[in-house]
Structure 1
């Protein structure tokens, strides 16, 4: 199965988590692909059968600037990915209250619009409570892998 991993990062942490997820997916036998600067055409050329999005949150619950062009391109063109599996890992800081992991929530809504099914509930990684978000994501990634194999 071809799994595209998309990432939106401000300080690089989401990209590190995405790269770690790629290694774990490849070790599990998937064709995993990650390009933090991908365009929609590049993503469509890969032809993902599943999607994993790792994104941080900025400002008032917004997506990072690096991810916004792809997000808006997906929202504008709405490729038909009905019933394809997907998942979201959201990075944030709970001290921001209502906007905590808001970027991840925006992506979840988009996946629904694309017709995708969330195979594991969104993971929220709290930057104010964790030092190693890659390691903290591993149990969730293992669940995601198991769900893709089921």
Structure 2
């Protein structure tokens, strides 16, 4: 099973996190990494395992690079039944009500189209001392077991 990592970012941290996750998966799954701005909803394949990395921007919105993909999901409404995915969200807990909304929005869009979220929905806190790429490496250690469940 192939692993596809999609990231949505405003400042580039999402790409660094995606790279860290890919490093963990590289030995067994030959992961592909794409900016959501450059990935078409029609390319989603239920035979792949999807990893979504998404930051939160502004007042709980999706980052700019995630918007084209999210808009396409809303317009095309592909049937994603059978697609399994995991989410690594990023946000800052100083924004109580909107903390980590970007990852939550993407998860809601995917599950609303029939996909199944598996594993821990990780919520990285920019106010913590833990670097996002380091947290992603640790979180990604659990992904092989989830990928192999298919």
**Fold match (TM-score > 0.5):** yes
Map 1:1-150 onto structure 2 (within 5 A): 1-27=1-27, 29-36=28-35, 37-40=37-40, 44=43, 49-150=48-149
Measured in 2, the distance between the counterparts of 1:45 and 1:18 equals 17
Q: Is the 8 A contact 1:84 1:117 kept in 2?
A: yes
CA RMSD of aligned residues (A): 1.9
Task: Find the aligned partners of 1:8 and 1:149 in 2 and give their Cα distance.
Answer: 25
Contact 2:5–2:18 (8 Å) recurs in 1: yes
Q: TM-score, normalised by structure 2?
A: 0.89
User: Gaps (5+ residues) in structure 1?
Assistant: none
For the residue of structure 2 that corresponds to 1:96, the secondary structure is coil
Residue deviations 1:23-76, cap 9 Å, x none? Answer: 21122x1131112142316x6187761211101101111000111001110222
- What SS class does the counterpart of residue 97 from structure 1 fall into? coil
TM-score of the aligned structures, taking structure 1 as reference length: 0.89
For 1:144 and 1:110, locate their aligned partners in 2 and report how far apart those are by CA, in whole Å.
21
Counterpart CA distance in 2 for 1:122 and 1:39 is 22
- Give ranges in structure 2 of 5+ residues lacking alignment: none
Separation of aligned partners in 1, 2:107 and 2:12: 21
Alpha-carbon distance, 1:133 to partner: 1.1
Q: What is the SS of the residue equivalent to 2:96? A: helix
Report the Cα distance in structure 2 between the residues aligned to 1:140 and 1:131, rounded to whole angstroms: 12
